[in-house]
Each structure stands twice: as structure tokens, then as C-alpha cells.
Structure 1
Amino acid sequence: MNADQEMRWSVEELRLTFKSGKTRSVGWRKTQLRAILRLIHENEDTLFQLLKSELGKHPVESYRNEIGVVKKSADRALNCIEKWMSPKKGRLPLVFFPASRKVLPEPLGVVLIIGSWNFPISLTLDPLIGAISAGNTVVLKPSELSPNCASFLANILPSYLDPKAVKVIEGGREVSNQLLQYKWDKIFFTGSTKVGKIVMAAAANNLTPVTLELGGKCPAIFDFLSNSDLKVAAKRVASGKWGPCAGQACIGIDYILVEQKFASTLIEQLKKTIKKFYGDDAKNLKNLLKIINKGHFDRLRSFLEDPAVANCIVYGGSFDDTRLIIEPTILLDPPLDAEIMTEEIFGPLLPIITMDKIEESIEFINSKPKPLALYAFTKSENFKKRILAETSSGSVTFNDTMIQFLCDDLPFGGVGQSGIGRYHGKYSFDTFSHEKAVLERSFYFELEPRHPPWSNFKLQFLRLVYNYDYVGMLLLLLGLKRPSNS
């Protein structure tokens, strides 16, 4: 059997498994969720080693952004699955009497999940938890840019999860393109906007619903802060910008907007924080991850090779070609038409754009595509209200960075070019479910005005129905007139 036949058979087996109905049972779903928890627990040290060798992640970062994320998601789903699966009942207008209604969540079917390389465990297994919780069968396609993690998942998952319901298919762009040719009941993709367009175009051929977790240029607004608040804010920016994958994160800060008179104070505080977190020796930086590959490394370096941009560097700018490390770099007012300001950076370069008044930041943000995340450091309640009312983004976080991703009670997802759909917690279950409307009536009591032959009486009656005027309906049926004072 060649690779194409094997892929075709894998998808067909998943469809047969789904048709058998076994993935719909709460018992099957719980068994799979417990297996994911067991996988994470029993292979924690192996995952630490893999993430260290492949991406340079310290165990603390691996637990914070990968292993811990999967564990909390699986725990949450396991504890809530029966509640999520329960039909949602509700009341109906009196005109439907006697009747009942409910909304019944049902699995979509066979779904394709395409993971990302920067968080190769959490951004693959987290959506898988949602798909399993909802009762689907799944093809998991890990990113080929983190091949060791992809191979680990391909080899280990069949030992823990139902191999007839969850399959891992490895490979590069050709395999992804081949998978996109199949008919799926849902496609969940995490990656760039450019590839997201390809996924959406392929899905359109079969009218397949998609969830696209993309990215964009996420801004951070800096309003005036006291010295003590600025120190805390600088820690949160430095940790959020350079900590997760050296800036290679979809919700990482792409650029900062600040009033010109406060820019130098902010830059000095960021410099101090960078030196404390990552060191000041460009050749021996600590706690900083490498760039994923030479192609991405060269792309980032090309941003700074533009002479107009290079002149704006106020901190950093060094490169280590051997280790693919780029020093945390701050730039002040690079040209707005330079690539660093028109393309998503996805790396450890941080432009700071100044303006006369911080309120101008709203107009600046609105002139760009809608970001996945917007951050604002301010104590002004008025300014917060304006940001919420006058800008659009996947999420808004005040006075911190990145933490919204870890909150399962908040939906995570983009808007416009930064993505379609949402997930995390109950939102993951909903993403991989169809909410089926169910209405049930008895044969008792028939509302005759709904049927022909038509008459002026029936028209009057239907007007009252659509206005929920039950008193008027009753009076009309009894042949009585409404009192003049009512």
C-alpha cells in the first residue's frame, strides 16, 4: 500500500468509526481524555527533552506554555463533559403550546487538525481535546518544522488513544495539500494568514467549516505610568515579547505605541529588564529561544538590513548564525512603510512608534488589519472604554500580556485577517459541535389560523401572534373587542 492509499484508508477508517456511533458515548470521550492526561504525565521528561532540543525551551517554559496547557484543558473537559453534552432546554412562546424545545450538541464527524511548530504540543493536543470532547474522529497533522515533536506524537498517540478514531499523519507541505483535498466535516488550522487563505480556499470546495487561528501585528499601547507601575509593565512586556519562543508567537507584541515624551523612559526600563531576564552578552544570552530555521532567521535579519531601519536600533541587533539566535532588539520609530512595520515580525524585534498624544494610537491601530490581540497599559478608565468601543481585535488585555491565552473561560480566536472561530474550554467543545435545534409538539390543540383557506380574520390573528399579543388573540377568538382604555 503506497502513501496515498494509506492516507485514503486512514480517512475512510475514521469515517467508519464515526458512523459506528462509539465516539458519541460519554464513556468513550472520558476514556480518551484520561489517556491524554496519562500520556502527558508519563512522558513529561521526554517532552521536556524534545522541546529543549528542538526549540531550546527551558522546562519551566515548556510546562507553562505546553504541558500545563494540555493538562488543564484535559482536566477541564473531563470534569465538564457531561454538562457540555447535555441538551439545553428552554421555554417556547405560548402560541406553540403544547410543545417543548431543546438544543442538542452533536459531533460534526471527521475533522482535520493542522498544528503549529512554535508550540508543537499544546497547539496540537489542545484542539484535539476539544474535538474528542465533542465526540469526533480526528486526523492530526503536526507541523513538519518541529519534526521531532511530530514524530513523537505519531509514535506515542496510538499507544494511548483509540487508533481507529485518532490518527497522526506526518509530512510537509505536499502532505498538507493532499489532506486538504479530502472532504472533512471540520478543519482546524493554526498558522500564518497566508497559509490560512489556502486552507480556506480548499475547504470552500466542500463547504467545510473552518476554524483559522492566525496572527497579525499585535500592538501594545503604553499610556503614562508611574515608575513602580512601569517596572511591572516592562517585566510583562519583556516576558511576553521575548519569553515565548523569542517572539515567535501569534499573540506576542509586534510593536508598541507610546507618547514621544515617555518613549525614552520606557526604553530605558525595557533595557534594564532585558539584561536581567536574558543577559547583556549577545553571544551568551540565556532563557532565549532560537529562531526555528535558517529561512525564518534570514527573513528577520533582512528586516534590519534595510539602512533606514538599522538606523533606528536603540538596543540589540546582534545575530548568532550558528545557533540561530537573535538578540532582543528595540527600534525607535522605524519607517512605517518598511517591511518590519508592514509584515508580521514573529521574532525578537520590537519597534516602538511614538505619537504626540496617546489617543492617536486608536486611529493608528484602526488603519491596520484587525489584530489577534491588543494590549494596553493604562490606568485611565476613560481610555479603556475608548479602546474597547473604537477598536476591533480578537482580544483585549489591559496591563498584561499573553495571559488571556491561558484562561479557559475566555474564547480565544481572531477577527478578520487574524482568524475565524474560537476555542479553549467550553468554546473548544462548541467549535467541534453542531447545535441541533429540536422542537417537539403533541397532536393536541391545533391552531387553525395557520392553515388555508385564508381570510381577513386569519390575517388579524397572525398579526397578533407575531406581536405576542395573547390578550388580543384571545379576544379575537372569542369575537370580543379590546376595551378602548387598554
Structure 2
Amino acid sequence: MAPWTAALERLRETVSTGRAVPAEFRRTQLQGLERFLNENRQLLQEALAEDLHKSDFESDISELLLCRNEVAFALRNLNTWIKDEPVAKNLLLQLSSTFIRKEPYGLVLIMGPWNYPINLTLVPLVGALAAGNCVVLKPSEISRSVERVLAQLLPRYLDPSCFTVVLGGPQETGRLLEEKFDYIFFTGSPRVGRMVMSAAAKHLTPVTLELGGKNPCYVHDDCDPQTTANRVALFRFFNAGQTCVAPDYVLCSREMRERLLPALQRAITRFFGADPQVSPDLGRIVSDRHFQRLQGLLRCGQVAIGGQSDPRDRYIAPTVLVDVQETEPVMQEEIFGPILPIVTVGGMGEAVEFIRRREKPLALYAFSRDSQVIHKVLDRTSSGSFTSNDGFVFLSQMTLPFGGIGNSGMGRYHGKFSFDTFSHFRSCVLSSHHLEQLNQVRYPPVGPWSRKLITWAVEFPNCTIQ
């Protein structure tokens, strides 16, 4: 018997009784999550520092604050979200009530990653609880300190009849995925995402996959190099580059590259000092295995800035590579570290073609003073998110959906999009048992006049809002 068997049976019993569905129960759960975040802020900051060397500021701005915002937003809007939603009606249904009811899926599995182990684990949890689901939470075993805090403390704040935390590595995760869930939400790599989707397919379980990819950053020749360098460096080296939406490589002309390189050096020195290894604002690589992989990527192309590393500290300096080849590993796999390759192109058209022949990215960035250039890149490419002249600031905006496309994922969340993701939209028509005389026209045999009348009644242009 698996260690989680009893917990899953308990949660399935709650699903069958509908105990987690009432609005007040959902509100109580969200308030419990809010208390957990507020009362354990220091413990969570310490855990993030142990796992990733995150500063208190970085932990607050990219993890704890975003989670608290999501909870507050859900509590403020919950009563509106759960209401039945009226829809337009054709003439055939004018005397019926037609609406969409948002129902919980039931038992959902949320699998979190290690790079933002609080944000990317608890923000989906907000949507799942707001939608009235019972939740199995599987935090990443790689971010061990955060995993320990979530496992030991979070269950004290949520009702055990509708929530549990499951621990373990790849072997335990594989066994867990053999269980039948009503919905699975996974954040991680495309490789593991395929495994999750394959396991879900055995039970026809719907999934949201938040995956990664190589996010392009096009820099046009008209940019101010220092402004561009400041913004690219901030978002490339945030969390030591271990961010799924970070700019993964720069596309620019050779002339812009020569202007950009000294500007990037100035930005790195300004942010992290002459010796970034002693900076409190630069994170560390999460594990020895990931460190070794990144050291291999440092051998691609030529190091123009940085390149230093220390395996004892799992430290890799903010690094810029030039003269990289498209076939090299650094351009074939998601970097997930403080390494920024610069690829030279002949102009915007060549940059767009470079982007289009690769997998669709999770995020895409374009820098230019010319709005026409920005809109041409936007119109000619496809990505999960798009930002001009900045980094992944869209993550702070709960009214924007976050999610990938193609190889970078499927599904979306944040704000109401999280509630919608974990809700089944049930189509409802409530008709009267009376007025049978009006329905006679629908019954066979259908003559020419009845056919004409029915056709006219179901034409959508006749629809009106209820």
C-alpha cells in the first residue's frame, strides 16, 4: 500500500459528499492559506535562502508577495466567480433558463517545481481551492527546505479532509501518477511534462502543463544599449537565471552586440559588484547535478563576460557568451542558469525567422524604440507571453493569463484564470414541464412550415442575453 493511499481515500470521500463545494468552505480554506503565508514568512524566507540563496527581497517580490496577492484577489472576487453565468439564448429557448455553472473537477493533483517552489506551487493551489476542489500537493524534492516547510506546516492551516501533501522523488511521483485524478496541474520541464501527460491519458484526465523553453530576446539597432542591458541583465540573472520565463538568448546585429557587451558588463557590476560571488543578491544553482550541466554549457561559444564558477558554492558568475552556434547545447536546451548567449542576425526579419523555425517559447521579448518594429515581431511570432522593452513583469499582473503554447505548455492560470482552470464549465438548460402545446411543432412528422419555423427559431442571430 502506498503511503498516500489513506489520504487519497479520505479526499475522494470528501469529493463524493460535496463538503468542499460551498462558498464559505472555500473561503475558509483560502483564509487558512493566507494565514500560513503571513505567519511563516521568516521560515519560508530561510528555506528559500537555504535552497537557492535567495535574498529576503527576492523571496518576497517573486514568491511570497505574489502568493498573498493571489489569495487576496480570490477572496475578494470569489462570490462573483462562483455565480452561475447567464448566456445568450436563441428563440427556441426563450422560455428556458440557460446558464453556465462552474463546478469543481473533484480531486486534483498539483505538482510544483524547484525554481520558485512557493510561488509556482501555491498559486495554482489558490485556484484549486477557490474552485472547490480537494487537492494533493506534490512539492519538488529538489528544493528540500521549502518542501519540508510545506509538508510540516501547511496541512495545519487547511482542512485535512480536502488537502494533503505527498513527498518523494521521481520513483514516488511515477507511482502517484498511476492513481486516478480528476485534474493534474504540472509545472516543470517538457520531458517530464510528456510523462505526466502520458500517465494522465490512461485515465483521460485533463491536464495543465506549465513547461519551459528557450525564450528569445530580440534587440533592434535603435535601442539605447545601457537601458536595454540593464533590463536584460536584471531578468536574465534574477534567481541565478533559474526562471522559466527569463530571456534565454539575445538576437541582435553584430553592431548592436559590440555596443551591448560593455553595457552588460556595466549592468552586472552595478547589480552584483566587482565580485558577484560575494553579492547577497545573486542566487546559487539548486543542486550539484544542475551545476555540472551548466558548467558544460560554459564551454559553448566564447566567454565575453564572466565564466567563473565554484563547485563548492554551486556558484556560476553572470556570464555572456558570443559566437555560439545554433547546433551547440547552449542553444538546444533551456539554460536555466546565469548564462546569456548572444546570437548575431542580419536584422529583424532574420531574427523573426530564427524564432519561427524553433519551438514556440513560453515568453518572447523585443526591444526597440519603434512601435512598428515591436508590432511586427508580435504579429509574426507566437509565444505564451510577449513583452516589449522589459522582462517578465507580466507575472505581477493577475488579469493576464500565464501559460505556454506548443512545446512550452498548455493551459493558463493566475487570477480568475486559475479559478477557471480548476472549474468544469457545465452547460445548463432548465425548461418547463408545461407549455407542451408550443412544443408540438418540433415533433415528427415535420412539415415545410414547421421546418421553416424551427430553422428560424434556432438561428444564432436571434440570440439575446438572458
TM over 0.5: yes
After superposition, the C-alpha distances for 1:364-417 in whole angstroms (9 at most, x for unaligned) are 100100000001112322222222221110010111101111210000000000
Cα separation, 1, equivalents of 2:371 and 2:278: 42
After superposition, the C-alpha distances for 1:271-318 in whole angstroms (9 at most, x for unaligned) are 10001111232653441111111111111111223xxx24x2111111
In the TM superposition, structure 1's runs of 4+ consecutive aligned residues that sit over 4 Å from their partners are: 466-470
Cα separation, 2, equivalents of 1:348 and 1:340: 12
- TM alignment of 1:368-447, pairs within 5 A: 368-442=358-432, 443-444=434-435, 445-447=437-439
The structural deviation recorded for 1:7 is 1.2
- TM alignment of 1:452-467, pairs within 5 A: 452-467=444-459
With 211-220 and 353-362 compared, the bigger mean Cα shift is at 353-362
1:350 and 2:340 matched: yes
With 330-339 and 182-191 compared, the bigger mean Cα shift is at 330-339
Q: Residue in 2 aligned with 1:278?
A: 272
Cα separation, 2, equivalents of 1:94 and 1:86: 24
The structural deviation recorded for 1:90 is 2.7
| Structure with bigger RCO (C-alpha 8 Å, 6+ apart) | 2
- TM alignment of 1:202-281, pairs within 5 A: 202-227=199-224, 230-243=225-238, 245-281=239-275
* Contact 2:113-2:120 at 8 Å conserved across structures: yes
Change (3 A) 1:389 1:452: same
Cα separation, 2, equivalents of 1:219 and 1:198: 26
* Contact 2:86-2:98 at 8 Å conserved across structures: yes
Q: Residue in 1 aligned with 2:351?
A: 361
Matched pairs, number: 460
- TM alignment of 1:43-442, pairs within 5 A: 43-227=40-224, 230-243=225-238, 245-281=239-275, 283-305=277-299, 309-310=300-301, 312-442=302-432
Q: Residue in 1 aligned with 2:5?
A: 8
Cα separation, 2, equivalents of 1:461 and 1:84: 37
Cα separation, 2, equivalents of 1:455 and 1:342: 65
- Gapped runs of 5+ residues in structure 2? none
* Contact 2:251-2:351 at 8 Å conserved across structures: yes
RMSD: 1.5
One-letter code aligned to 1:236: R
* Contact 2:136-2:163 at 8 Å conserved across structures: yes
The structural deviation recorded for 1:456 is 3.3
Change (3 A) 1:469 1:220: closer
Cα separation, 2, equivalents of 1:22 and 1:220: 48
Cα separation, 2, equivalents of 1:59 and 1:427: 29
The structural deviation recorded for 1:5 is 4.0
Q: Residue in 2 aligned with 1:448?
A: 440
Cα separation, 2, equivalents of 1:130 and 1:321: 39
Cα separation, 2, equivalents of 1:106 and 1:90: 17
Cα separation, 2, equivalents of 1:469 and 1:354: 53
Task: Indicate the SS of the match to 1:103.
Answer: strand
Given the two structures, how large is their TM-score scaled by the length of structure 2? 0.95
* Contact 2:219-2:251 at 8 Å conserved across structures: yes
After superposition, the C-alpha distances for 1:46-92 in whole angstroms (9 at most, x for unaligned) are 11111112210000000001110110000000100010001111331
Cα separation, 2, equivalents of 1:118 and 1:34: 26
Cα separation, 2, equivalents of 1:12 and 1:158: 17
Change (3 A) 1:235 1:282: closer
After superposition, the C-alpha distances for 1:91-135 in whole angstroms (9 at most, x for unaligned) are 311232311211110000000000011111111111111100000
With 424-433 and 216-225 compared, the bigger mean Cα shift is at 216-225
Cα separation, 2, equivalents of 1:427 and 1:171: 29
The structural deviation recorded for 1:41 is 1.0
The structural deviation recorded for 1:360 is 1.6
Cα separation, 2, equivalents of 1:468 and 1:62: 51
* Contact 2:91-2:457 at 8 Å conserved across structures: no
Change (3 A) 1:363 1:226: closer
Task: Indicate the SS of the match to 1:6.
Answer: coil
The structural deviation recorded for 1:163 is 1.2
Cα separation, 2, equivalents of 1:87 and 1:283: 55
The structural deviation recorded for 1:268 is 1.3
